[in-house]
Chains A and B, each alone.
Chain A
């Protein structure tokens, strides 16, 4: 049984308990143990390096040191946390000067990061520790004919030089996991493009228009959109709530999709909390 420290981040417990709930239920069903990481806070956000590179590295290292203390690797549900913690973890391990500089800062709060922790996205844990083949064997209600538009999200894949998640131009991990549920991951134009979330606080209209553009394309090809990041999810739901014309496209967190195929109910996976009605998905089970 694999065991990880769950790094929740800021947005999920405040806004998207449905993602937390579905991730935990699916992990339980698959035999992955998630231990809540005590004391951890914000990862620093991908914006922190725009203020100060050392601060961003120190904040990441501080969070990593908490998991190191518990002797556990970190699993993240949010792409923002993924980018920050995974990127700085690699940088700290590669650059002994940076690690020393950061540890001098951490020593002021009685901490040290030795560099023994691994950071993994939830999706990657499912892929590496369980795998699509085993998932297929565990399904109780596989989907039939459900077309899914997978959205990886920028910070699951990029910057690939440091994050090393999958091929950044032709990724397959999340598609494979979607296909394992019986659904079919469809290709669609600009699949790997940003959801617009990072500039929400800078230019809301532009941010919203980027999300709308993606959903408008995706709904031509798919019955549901699949995300594995709270920000991407909120963008794609949010842009369909006001000023949206035509049919809405349901959005599911990946573990919600998988959970349904494993035989779980809507409420168990928090799908009843989603803002876009997803009940038509049941027709494909």
Chain B
């Protein structure tokens, strides 16, 4: 499960990789990282999973260790809590860097199944959980108004225009 590599082979490094990461909004200051480790110290996941270290992730991204990074399951463990981002003295935005790396991993076909599932659910009903007559009856019993209907066809169309269906290789239900 370890994300790191014990031996770094220069021929395996992709010097252009950091540029690809930095093109993604939020991740543009990746190379400001001076490896202080404040991010790892602030990380509630790193405290519990020793292999998960935002500092290491930043270093690997800068070095261009593209494959071990983008193939790793550990990328999906980040809780997105932004504790590292608040405390980074270099404004590297480690949380945004990890989100950027995830989006590059998705383009390589490594997407956590839960993210794919969430997208399919949103495409289906416009929400993570479908609201049926049953839920609205429960709400009525409590004196709550029914949940307003989602314009889900518009969400599906936006997903199509952006190309989320092709990216995740999913079918978007309904619509055109």
Contact = CB atoms under 8 A, between A and B. Distances in A.
Interface of A: 8-11, 13-15, 17, 20-21, 24, 36-42, 44-47, 49-55, 58-59, 62, 66, 91, 98, 105-106, 108-109, 111, 154-155, 158-161, 168-169, 192-194, 196-199, 201-203, 206, 209-210, 270
Interface string B84-127: 01100000010100011011001000011011011100100011
B175 to A, nearest CB: 10
Interface in B136-176: 138-139, 142-145, 147-152, 154-155, 157-159, 161-162, 164, 167-168
A41 B127 contact: yes
B33 interface: no
A24 B106 contact: no
B77 A17 contact: no
A106 B83 contact: no
B129 A15 contact: yes
Contact of A59 (B24, B155, B167): B155
B128 interface: yes
Interface string B9-37: 00000000000000011100000000000
Contacts of B115: 47, 50-51
B7 to A, nearest CB: 29
9 contacts: A21-B142, A39-B148, A51-B167, A58-B162, A62-B155, A98-B25, A111-B154, A159-B95, A193-B44
B103 A206 contact: no
A39 B164 contact: no
Interface residues of B, number: 61
Most buried by B among A52, A98, A193: A52
Contacts of A41: 122, 126-127, 150-152, 155
Contact of B162 (A14, A55, A202): A55
Given A13-B139, A39-B149, A159-B86, A49 B103 contact: yes
B12 to A, nearest CB: 25
A108 B157 contact: yes
Contacts of B100: 53
Interface of B: 24-26, 44-45, 48-49, 76-83, 85-86, 93, 95, 99-100, 102-103, 106, 111-112, 114-115, 117-119, 122, 126-131, 135, 138-139, 142-145, 147-152, 154-155, 157-159, 161-162, 164, 167-168
Contacts of B44: 193-194, 196, 210
Closest 7 CB pairs of A and B: A41-B126, A14-B129, A158-B82, A201-B114, A41-B150, A50-B102, A10-B128
Main secondary structure of the interface of A (DSSP, over half): helix
Contacts of A10: 127-129
Contacts of A14: 127-131, 135
Most buried by A among B85, B114, B127: B127
Contacts of A193: 44, 81, 83
B164 A55 contact: yes
Contacts of B139: 13, 17, 20
Contacts of A106: 158
A111 B151 CA distance: 12
A50 to B, nearest CB: 4
Given A194-B79, A196-B44, 9 more contacts: A11-B128, A21-B142, A41-B127, A41-B150, A51-B164, A109-B154, A169-B86, A201-B117, A202-B114
Most buried by A among B128, B135, B158, B164: B158
A254 to B, nearest CB: 18
Contacts of A50: 99, 102-103, 106, 115
A62 B112 CA distance: 25
A109 B142 contact: no
A47 B157 CA distance: 19
A42 B106 contact: no
B158 A206 contact: no
A122 to B, nearest CB: 16
Contacts of A47: 80, 115, 118
A53 B151 contact: no
